[in-house]
């Protein structure tokens, strides 16, 4: 659950970097930051994968 929420947060941060709204820890103060956006997209994927691993499995 926690990792899933974290994944959603990372998706939002990735979108904000991609459209240029977020400028935290960037080399320039304006414009989109695709490198940061891709990084947070990867972190989002990793979080969702982690959430899926942590999900209780039904025994077949």
Give contact residues for another protein (rule: CB under 8 A): 25, 27, 34-36, 38-39, 42-43, 46, 48-49, 52-53, 55, 57
Distance in Å, CB of 52 to another protein, minimum:
4
Q: Distance between CA atoms of 25 and 38, rounded to whole angstroms?
A: 15
Q: Distance between CA atoms of 28 and 17, rounded to whole angstroms?
A: 12
Distance in Å, CB of 14 to another protein, minimum:
12
* Nearest by Cα to 16 from 37, 31, 2, 35: 37
Distance in Å, CB of 10 to another protein, minimum:
11
């Amino acid at each position: 659950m926690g990792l899933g929420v974290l994944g959603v947060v990372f998706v939002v941060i990735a979108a904000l970097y991609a459209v240029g709204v977020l400028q935290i820890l960037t080399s320039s103060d304006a414009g989109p930051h695709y490198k940061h956006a891709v990084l947070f997209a990867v972190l989002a994927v990793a979080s969702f994968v982690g959430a899926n691993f942590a999900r209780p499995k039904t025994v077949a």
